């Protein structure tokens, strides 16, 4: 009986379909708590580095090389976790993969909270990075697969918004909690996520891929409600899965390699904007720019602006064209990084060599500091515009475009390439950032990010297709891909 849902479909259609999203929203909330943990752990060094440099424990005070590793090793863990997610998603399912990410997350935060030396901090960061990579590779897939088409767009933005909220929570807690208690606070959403997910359904698509048609129907019924037209949706999912599949030899065809190249290049350029090192070292950057306001408050303000900008971008995604938002994003980041470059180059005489660590020790928790100077707000405003510009385009649209331009059968291969390229690029930039600042001054990396913003604008104009309001055939024609069907 489980193999013939068509009969039940006819019965369902005789009654008005009543779709209910309450349980779907609960399942999505349970899953995206993993993104909250990811956002929280990603920016953990921002308030912690100044605390450690000010502290009395010499075992935890770091030189420039250790600061670079503390900031960057998270991304190495994320690369490993992202590759692991590709395997786990197909072996144990999306939901179990997300639950498994809670193990390295909880252990990593516990190790950092109890750290007695630098190596414990490093191992804790690496473990939370593995968890972050797994969640980044599993949660968007799970959310998109359980969501109804009518709300998939809105729910698809939840992972990013929740990650941003997690970063904001870290900045906010950093205002009132000692650094060890920040790690303890991070354990709470991990535990809640794992408990909630125990009661959530596995993705119906995963069940169908494994041949468990009855379980897939049961999951869809739970998510949509017993009076909804869930069996029709089951049929569509099953037909979609049966029609996909790609061989390695197919990757030689333009239909596959052109959109893959565009997607991978966009992920590379996305990280080259410097967003990861800026977020990871946000509070230390404010310490080095001699801003009149206290850096920990500046970081919290930027975190709030980031959350607001992501929400605005989500509302504009389907109204404005993809390329228009990418152009706006690139131009805003260009102006902001140029302003930051000019400001830090002008004031670099105050920050010679060896001031990265010394500056953190001397400025953190200072008494009254210099008198307020409005010009010192430039780094704060520039940082807010960088974050706002990124969230308007190059943050979310790279993922959206990838799902739109890639043939269905190539998404697994392409997502793996994108995860690897993205996190390895983030590691290199985050590792080198403080070394470049130490050798040349803070203006040098921001000048580089300014040039990258120009490259992004040019790449958008020349290589990125406009997908808003277009059919898949029109998107293929843009890239000159449709002709392969006739060869």
Show the tokens assigned to 67.
């600061």
Neighbours of 81 (CB within 10 A): 30
CA distance 99 to 92: 11
Calculate helix-pair angle for 397-405, 254-272, nearest 10 degrees: 180
Structural domains of the chain, with CATH:
20-200 (1.20.1250.20), 250-347+374-486 (1.20.1250.20)
pTM of full prediction above 0.85: no
Per-residue pLDDT 10s for the chain (487 aa) are 444 454 444 444 444 457 677 888 899 999 999 999 999 998 898 888 887 877 777 787 777 888 889 888 999 999 898 888 878 877 888 889 999 999 999 999 999 999 888 899 999 999 999 999 888 888 887 887 888 777 766 677 778 788 888 988 888 888 888 889 999 999 999 999 999 999 998 888 888 888 888 888 888 888 887 777 767 777 777 776 666 555 555 566 666 677 888 888 888 999 999 888 988 888 788 877 766 667 667 777 877 887 787 777 777 766 777 788 889 889 999 999 999 898 888 765 444 333 455 555 544 444 344 555 677 778 888 888 998 888 888 887 777 676 667 665 666 567 667 777 888 999 999 889 988 888 888 889 999 999 999 999 999 888 877 666 554 445 555 544 444 333 3
CA distance 459 to 209: 37
- List the end-to-end C-alpha distance of the chain, in Å, as a whole number: 44
From residue 126, give the alpha-carbon distance in Å to each of 60, 76, 107, 133, 389: 17, 7, 11, 11, 29
């Amino acid at each position: 009986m489980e193999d013939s849902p068509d009969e039940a479909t006819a019965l369902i259609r005789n009654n008005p379909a009543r779709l209910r999203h309450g349980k779907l929203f609960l399942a999505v909330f349970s899953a995206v708590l993993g993104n909250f943990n990811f956002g929280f752990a990603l920016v953990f060094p921002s308030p912690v580095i100044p605390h450690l440099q000010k502290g009395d424990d010499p075992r935890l005070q770091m030189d420039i090389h250790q600061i670079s590793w503390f900031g960057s090793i998270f991304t190495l863990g994320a690369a490993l976790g992202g590759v692991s997610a590709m395997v786990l998603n197909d072996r144990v399912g999306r939901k179990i993969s997300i639950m498994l990410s809670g193990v390295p997350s909880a252990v990593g935060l516990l190790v950092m909270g109890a750290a007695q030396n630098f190596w414990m901090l490093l191992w804790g960061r690496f473990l939370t990075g593995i968890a972050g990579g797994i969640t980044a590779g599993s949660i968007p897939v799970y959310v998109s697969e359980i969501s109804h088409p009518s709300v998939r767009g809105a729910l698809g933005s939840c992972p990013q918004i929740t990650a941003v909220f997690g970063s904001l929570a870290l900045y906010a807690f950093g205002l009132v909690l000692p650094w060890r208690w920040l790690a303890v606070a991070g354990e709470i959403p991990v535990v809640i996520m794992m408990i909630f997910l125990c009661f959530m359904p596995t993705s119906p698509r995963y069940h169908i891929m494994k041949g468990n048609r009855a379980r897939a129907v049961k999951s869809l019924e739970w998510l949509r409600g017993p009076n909804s037209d869930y069996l029709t949706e089951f049929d569509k999912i099953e037909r979609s899965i049966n029609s996909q599949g790609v061989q390695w030899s197919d990757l030689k065809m333009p239909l596959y390699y052109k959109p893959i190249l565009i997607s991978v290049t966009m992920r590379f350029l996305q990280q080259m904007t410097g967003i990861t090192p800026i977020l990871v070292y946000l509070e230390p950057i404010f310490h080095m720019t001699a801003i009149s306001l206290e850096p920990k408050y500046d970081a919290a303000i930027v975190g709030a602006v980031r959350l607001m900008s992501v929400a605005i971008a989500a509302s504009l995604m389907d109204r404005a064209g993809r390329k228009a938002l990418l152009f706006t994003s690139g131009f805003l980041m260009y102006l902001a990084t140029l302003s930051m470059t000019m400001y830090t180059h002008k004031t670099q005489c105050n920050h010679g060599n060896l001031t990265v660590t010394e500056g953190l020790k001397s400025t953190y928790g200072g008494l009254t500091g210099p008198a307020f100077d409005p010009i010192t707000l430039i780094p704060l405003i520039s940082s807010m515009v960088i974050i706002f510009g990124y969230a308007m385009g190059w943050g979310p649209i790279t993922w959206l475009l990838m799902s739109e331009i890639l043939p269905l059968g190539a998404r697994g291969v392409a997502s793996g390439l994108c995860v690897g390229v993205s996190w390895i690029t983030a590691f290199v930039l985050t590792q080198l950032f403080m070394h470049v600042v130490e050798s040349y001054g803070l203006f040098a990396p921001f000048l580089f990010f300014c040039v990258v913003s120009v490259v992004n604008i040019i790449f958008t104009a020349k290589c990125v297709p406009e997908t808003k309001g277009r059919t898949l055939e029109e998107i293929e024609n843009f890239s000159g891909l449709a002709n392969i069907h006739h060869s």
